Amino acid sequence: MDLYIRPGSSREKREEVIEEFYRKELKNQIPSLIDKWEQKMEIKD
């Protein structure tokens, strides 16, 4: 993975950018993961 940020950005800013990226990706995957596990566990309404 390549991280492109402004020159001179602090370590905290880089961490914030990566954390935001992972959070967004996880939010995108949650619905399909819920569907998958509801079926496996037979708990779908």
pLDDT at 16: 94
- Domain spans of the chain? 9-45
* pLDDT given for residue 45 in this prediction: 63
**Residue 5 and residue 19: Cα distance in Å, rounded?**
14
Sign of CA dihedral 20, 23, 25, 28: negative
pLDDT, one tens digit for every residue, the chain (45 residues): 888 888 999 999 999 999 999 999 999 999 999 999 999 999 876
